[in-house]
A = this chain, B = another copy of it.
Amino acid sequence: MSSDRALSLLSRAPIFQNAREDDLLPLAALGHFSSLSRGQHLFQAGQPIESLYVVASGSVRVYRLARGGRRELTLHVEGPRQLVAGVAAFQSRAVYPAHAQALQTPTEMLALPVDAVREEVFNTPTLAQAVIGYFARRQAELLGRLDSLVFSELGERLAAYLLDHAADAPHALPTNSELAALLGTVPEIVSRKLGEFYRLGLIVLERRTVRVCDAAELARLAGSLEEGTTRKAGR
């Protein structure tokens, strides 16, 4: 039965990890699964908000457009058990503030009606607490994005990305366009910078799979942010 699957997914989602299964039952009963293929949209910015989603399998990219679609910025990429549109669901605004698109070919999503979720969260203190913690974490992440985008230049952001994703194991790179959206730039520049890192012997590229050779040097390139935050405070 589909609501069994919904329940088991919900109870393992980080956002609901403190809830008793009983409290999740009504939500699980209201949820329904859907499946998307790569590139399909879960929702688009400006559509009225009806559901929030939990990723069951695959992954979803949440992004915003600008300059008439010429540029895009990826806000999050969410994998299994993660929430999509979780924050938007609790805003008074009635429309999604961003686009969401499946990245893999089957990407299965559990849709939950926002009203039911809101009611359930507000009536279950442990859930409310979990949601508050989740939002706070989310905001911390966003602040990090914000100042890396404002303060550091592309080389630093790319180096940080590589360290994050390919430090230990080799890593299959997304397309340059996706990388560009993640880093807040355009594909050409990503191509150039990757080429530069390769020529410097910092990374090895083979059929879109990247391996870090000189992690220390990459860290140095990525690191100008760290220095700033290490400064000792004083009044």
Interface residues of A (CB under 8 A from B): 39-41, 44-47, 64-69, 71, 73, 75, 87-88, 90-93, 97-99, 121-123, 125, 128-129, 131-133, 135-140, 142-143, 145-147, 149-152, 184, 224-225, 227-229, 231-235
Contact = CB atoms under 8 A, between A and B. Distances in A.
B132 A65 contact: no
- Which label, helix, strand, loop or mixed, suits the secondary structure of the A interface? helix
Contacts of A184: 150
A137 B44 CA distance: 20
A221 B97 CA distance: 23
B46 A229 contact: yes
Contacts of A128: 122, 125, 128-129, 132
**Residue picked from A142, A147, A184, most chain B C-beta under 10 Å:** A147
